[in-house]
Chain A
Amino acid sequence: EAQVTQNPRYLITVTGKKLTVTCSQNMNHEYMSWYRQDPGLGLRQIYYSMNVEVTDKGDVPEGYKVSRKEKRNFPLILESPSPNQTSLYFCASSLDGGGSYNSPLHFGNGTRLTVT
């Protein structure tokens, strides 16, 4: 089944404890992206990747890192999480960036992160 898989689904951690949220897609998509969703603020892009070894900052990249060593995986790393990073996180992928090639995004089911 074509899908984007995020893990974990729920994560509670403490300030400063490094964590990684994994994201994997099995559709051979070029483009992958991370979003956070907060009440009243909608979806905001954190980082995106147009292809392997190519990553770019989105609208809210501070406090996050990503890597794209393989096409299928795009982990999100929080080196020193803080309470303001408590949010619902989504990974998404598409054949391209949704631009001139007109590809829809496929989303994972989300990771609800709480930082205390």
Chain B
Amino acid sequence: SQQGEEDPQALSIQEGENATMNCSYKTSINNLQWYRQNSGRGLVHLILIRSNEREKHSGRLRVTLDTSKKSSSLLITASRAADTASYFCATDPSGNTPLVFGKGTRLSVIA
């Protein structure tokens, strides 16, 4: 069952620009997580934001969460070619239920 849906599906930007990806979900959540996947590799956890938090930062990453709109955004500032990857949001629809992943946003950062 697909809970989160990322937008856009694909994004291409120049190195140094900011990249913004969005995630919308359907039901109430306890937390929302963002993951990165380099081509063909396992997903790597980036950041977790709880339902009672509105914004979180980690290095060049900024995540916001709007529970009233059931949406989250991931901002990568001053992007680098190494940021080229697919980015997934994952939601926990209710306590003790496994995470559900979206289909991802494919980000290309051109040097």
Contacts and interface: CB of A to CB of B under 8 A. Distances in A.
A binds B: yes
Interface of A: 4, 31, 33, 35, 40-43, 45, 48, 50, 58-59, 88, 90, 92, 96-100, 102, 104-110, 112
A104 B89 CA distance: 12
B85 to A, nearest CB: 13
Contacts of A110: 40-42
Contact of B95 (A4, A99, A107, A112): A99
Interface of B: 1-2, 30-31, 33, 35, 40-45, 48, 50, 88, 90, 92, 94-104
Contact of B104 (A31, A42, A102, A112): A42
B97 A97 contact: yes
A41 B99 contact: no
